[in-house]
Structure 1
Amino acid sequence: MIFTRAMTFILIAALSGSAAVAAAADYSGPLKVGTTSAFAPPLETAVEEAKKQGLKVELIEFSDWTAPNVSVENGDIDVNLFQHQPFLDNANQQGGFHLVKYAPAIINNVGLYSIKHTALDQIPDGGTVAIANDPVNGGRGLLLLQKAGLITLKPGAGLKSTVDDIVDNPRHLKIIEVEAVQLSRSLQEVDLAQGYPHYLRASGVIDPNNALMFDGLEHPEYVIQFVIRDGHQNDPRLKKFVDIYQHSPAVRASLDKFYGRLYQPGWSQ
């Protein structure tokens, strides 16, 4: 089932933290895993490999970055895979969730992309740049712009940098904030955009390998995590499924096929 934003807010309103904590853990049914399109194909392979080993897994794909956490908090699914630790920390703070990381998955490169220019020095004075509009991924975009030499952030500005932290913008760039999953579509309208390879691949707008600059893998905080509700760390189904994801040759082949060279296993960081 795919949740809409409206359904997300209904779910949040319906949450009862005390009832969820009081409910006894039941690990007898199929493991329910929530994800987004950016991570689904390798997970589908893991589901098939789990089936061969006698573990039933249901994969639920969501269309936004809010509903997967609401669903884990509410007990509708057992685990999700789509977010890194800074995003999770912000979600817990904003939503009052009790979610924790369980195990690492992968870390993706994020890049700066353009379909109008072939080099960073071609970005014009007064050009328009699109970055993610959420507090965490937007900060990642700003750090990438600083790495590219296009802006300077105030000393100490880090993963949660905002546009207010920009202290030097020599090219007078106009920075607009866009929902992260829509950044690939913004490339038609801007000079430069922060881009996520998996969404770019799905959109077909540009080859995800053709970034003008990648952020590298210098921030291990951006490893995507399997996330569960605190108190469910002893779920034997989860332990088995994560082991399959991390160590199955078939899953590794699926990761290589889907992400190419734009990822690294997070469990080896």
Structure 2
Amino acid sequence: MKLFPSLTALLLSFATLGTAQAQPLRIGVTPGSLADSAQIAAREAKAQGLEVQIVEFTDWTLPNTALVNGDLDLNYYQHQAFLDTFNRENRQDLRAVAVGSRGNIGIFSKRYKSLDSLPTGASVALANDTSNQARAIATLRDAGLVTLRANAPQLAQIDDIASNPKKLKFIEVAGPQLARALDDADITVVSLGGLLQAGQLETARQGLYYSVGSDAFWAIHFVTRADNVKDARVRKFIDIYQQSPAVRQQIHATYANESRFYSLPWLK
């Protein structure tokens, strides 16, 4: 009598497992190197029996919203600072489970050839979201254009600037639109990936200042929900992505074969 319920439970367990395996792993990305490299990994995953659906977003909030709502299993588009800000402002608990590529950032202009030639009162386009504005402000500081107040937070904003010798005027722009701001501002602080996605290769190669590095904090992370951290499909996809020579080749190609435009922190 005790065997029959156990057998039923076992059959239900197998049925549930089969359903879970039949569902594709849904991953949200943004266009460019992230989407291109994820597609390569998805093809390799399929060859290993893991179905993956890559979903592209041009908005910087929707991939997290979709993940929270259960429409995605994983996303791959944000650095740790962006994730921390999203979790804090939206009272969520999304988790970074692995590190991906790190696109470098810089200062670019279609009007000037050097930072020294910038006039007083020059306009600066930079991101309007907290985390990416902080990275832009840090880049301006490292380039010697501004200094920050002594007690400025790690994610310093425009209001945290202590000195601005050139009296730069700041234009806050939605991140996905930054590359277009090159035509409207004297200088723009933008990622190399954003420039390349907008077809601005020559501008990318003629940066006035490059902020390069391989630290994981500003790298793009693979992010999932707290209840999905142990999903074996997530771990398998990340392993495929990080170990695939074809993925690395695609990242290099998407960054115009310019090693100074990006780094791969997981290889450190």
The answer on whether the counterparts of 1:27 and 1:236 sit within 8 Å (CA) in structure 2 is: no
TM-score, normalising length: structure 1: 0.87
Alignment of 1:83-232 (within 5 A): 83-207=78-202, 208-217=204-213, 219-232=215-228
2:230 aligned partner, one-letter code: N
Of residues 152-161 and 226-235 in structure 1, the stretch that sits farther from structure 2 once superposed is: 152-161
Q: Percent identity?
A: 38
User: Within 1, Cα distance between the matches of 2:220 and 2:138?
Assistant: 18
Shift of 1:206: 4.7
TM-score, normalising length: structure 2: 0.87
Cα-to-partner distance string for 1:91-127 (whole Å, 9 max, x where unaligned): 0111122200011101110010001111110111111
Aligned to 2:244: 248
Shift of 1:210: 2.2
1:36 counterpart = 2:30: yes
User: Is the radius of gyration larger for structure 1 or structure 2?
Assistant: 2
The answer on whether the counterparts of 1:130 and 1:177 sit within 8 Å (CA) in structure 2 is: yes
Shift of 1:202: 2.2
Q: Quote the RMSD (CA, aligned, Å).
A: 1.7
Aligned to 1:263: 262
The answer on whether the counterparts of 1:101 and 1:225 sit within 8 Å (CA) in structure 2 is: yes
Aligned to 1:5: none
Instruction: Mark the runs of 5 or more structure 1 residues left unpaired by the alignment.
Output: 1-23
Aligned to 2:11: none
Shift of 1:218: 6.3
More helix by percentage? 2
| Residue 140 to residue 158, structure 1, CA distance change in 2 (3 Å) | farther
The answer on whether the counterparts of 2:125 and 2:189 sit within 8 Å (CA) in structure 1 is: yes
SS at the partner of 1:115? coil
User: Within 1, Cα distance between the matches of 2:116 and 2:185?
Assistant: 15
SS at the partner of 2:138? helix
Shift of 1:201: 1.3
2:26 aligned partner, one-letter code: K
1:36 aligned partner, one-letter code: T
User: Within 2, Cα distance between the matches of 1:104 and 1:202?
Assistant: 21
The answer on whether the counterparts of 2:214 and 2:265 sit within 8 Å (CA) in structure 1 is: no
1:184 aligned partner, one-letter code: A
